[in-house]
A and B are shown apart, each in its own frame.
Chain A
Amino acid sequence: EAGVTQSPTHLIKTRGQQATLRCSPISGHTSVYWYQQALGLGLQFLLWYDEGEERNRGNFPPRFSGRQFPNYSSELNVNALELEDSALYLCASKSGTLEAFFGQGTRLTVV
């Protein structure tokens, strides 16, 4: 069974540009979570999607947005990139209250 897959693995963007990150959950999982992990820090919750709808978002500005598609895959969009957006972005999927399964992450570098 395939795990959570994220693409791309690495992404380099220029300040002010937009970045799109993608995530495919484990088959059967309807919930997708996005986290930001800046260098040396813990995981900061970004967004939670379930059954195609945004259920909750963390303390991030509106230029962080996303969506979940009918097949439960998800996109994270970051507009007007700033240098401090450079981080590892992790996607996780889960079913109900059980453990979350993470992808390998997308390393976003803003220059």
Chain B
Amino acid sequence: SQQGEEDPQALSIQEGENATMNCSYKTSINNLQWYRQNSGRGLVHLILIRSNEREKHSGRLRVTLDTSKKSSSLLITASRAADTASYFCATTQPGSGGSYIPTFGRGTSLIVHP
């Protein structure tokens, strides 16, 4: 079963607009990560936020984490056509055995129109 679920499934915006994607998860986490995947290729790591952090920035990316609501959001500001891709959140859970396995959601497909 999926640990994280992204919302919306698909998002279509114009270049220059902001894009917001949300991720909800079910169990306690060590950290949460966001990845980008361009057209069926490998995933590129974007940003990692630890369970004791609430917000992180990286360039045009802003990630928030609300552990009380078990949710995270990824904001891409001033979007560009090159941001067109699928975006996934992944979590790792504390505990033994599978504690370090990144568990992925189904992703949000973002299309940025020039």
Q: Does B75 contact A (CB under 8 A)?
A: no
Cα–Cα distance between A85 and B64 once the two chains are bound (Å): 36
How many residues of B are counted as interface, with CB atoms below 8 angstroms from the partner's CB atoms?
26
- Measured between beta carbons, the chain A residues less than 8 angstroms from B98 are 48, 55-56
Q: Does B45 contact A (CB under 8 A)?
A: yes
Q: Does B48 contact A (CB under 8 A)?
A: yes
Q: Are A104 and B41 in contact (CB under 8 A)?
A: yes
Q: Does B103 contact A (CB under 8 A)?
A: yes
Cα–Cα distance between A90 and B45 once the two chains are bound (Å): 14
- Could you mark each residue 82-114 of chain B with 1 if its beta carbon is under 8 Å from any beta carbon of chain A, else 0? 000000101010000111111111110000000
11 further contact pairs, Cβ within 8 A, besides A97-B92, A100-B90:
A33-B102, A35-B104, A42-B104, A56-B101, A90-B43, A92-B102, A94-B102, A97-B31, A99-B48, A102-B35, A104-B42
